[in-house]
Amino acid sequence: MSLLEKIKNHKAHIGVVGLGYVGLPLILEFLEEKFPATGFDIDSSKVEMLNRGESYIKHIPTQKIKKVKEMGLFHATSDFSRLKEVDCVLVCVPTPLNKYREPDISFIVNTAETISQHLQKEQLIVLESSTYPGTTEEVMRPILEKSGYKCHEDFYLAFSPEREDPNNPKFTTRTIPKVVGANDPVTLELTKTLYDQIIVKTVPVSSSQAAEATKLLENIFRSVNIALVNEMKIILDRMGIDVWEVIDAASTKPFGFMPFYPGPGLGGHCIPIDPFYLTWKAREFDISTRFIELAGEVNTDMPYHVVQRLSEALNQYRKSINGSRVLILGMSYKKDIDDLRESPSLKLMDILHEKGATVDYNDPYIPELWHTRKFQFSNKSVELTAQNIKAYDAVLISTDHTEYDWDFIVENANIIVDTRNATVNVKNHRKKIFKA
């Protein structure tokens, strides 16, 4: 049976490398369609939890993991030699920036090296990790061809960017259209057919480079517009104008305007990172991406702006940041999830520590901080009692989780610095609230 027939008949064995916020939802969709599937991850704790039928991601319930385990079609492993058993390998590994804000594609390179050692004829390899145009063909392909097999003849290689928005009730892995690109028509047909089995709509493009660029454009668009509204916020704040009121009013225009909202900085794995992947690649072609880089600078500076606003708020009470006790509300990068990736809350905590503040946090979804590539915090979430809140000189709202009781928090806080307009509907104690 050909690979195309296996895919159409749901007999193709799916392998997903990287079982995080992208890889785990993806493999679950294939399992929903009764594909046999193996998940690969270097984190043995994740592997053990999945094989016990447990979830480690808040918005993916344990019951869903138990269900697919009971089907008998799924197994997780850290044994990458089992890659030879699968027909399709979907790569969902991190692509962070290094300390110089340059692409770190070491996870892609290492994964490609591992796949190359176990590559089989007729296997389809699809990279899903966000990266610069050319990575699939210029980086992955030569490594995979070390196996002795020739790309697009003996095996197939494509790119299909992930479009996950964790815990978004309106859009799921299945309902978000999927872009697919490959530099060979047979490979493109295989890749499109594969995702057609689980996604409502696939969008084929002419090459892996075009698919890679599509992902970058999506997130650069958001980065630039968020930078614009962040800059507007700083300007309007100086003028004594509420930027949130202005955005709401502008949003009534039925054409030509799309609302974006300011915040304490960018978070998540895509928007803070993807623009720098393109600016780095553009230098190879002697192009200066001034507009994109300026947006990056504005967004990167936002945590410093928030700390400045906190300092101004404390000054009104004859206090300085140095020696103050500050409680940050929300450590995840957006509301109602447990994802710390690139969270501006971590940067805020770091800056405040450097300025001499004692900093704690509360987050209902993150009971304890873990070490990240940039930050080595080990704090535990503080309980939100009236007594605890009153003990802090200032409460800094960084992530506006739905379950927070803003009236209760404002009532008991000495100072509130609100970066998310979370307290807009609080009627009492408005003098305590400072927008940032």
Active-site choice (88, 92, 151, 270): 270
Is 88 annotated in the active site?
no
Show the tokens assigned to 214: 């599509």
* Residues noted as catalytic: 270
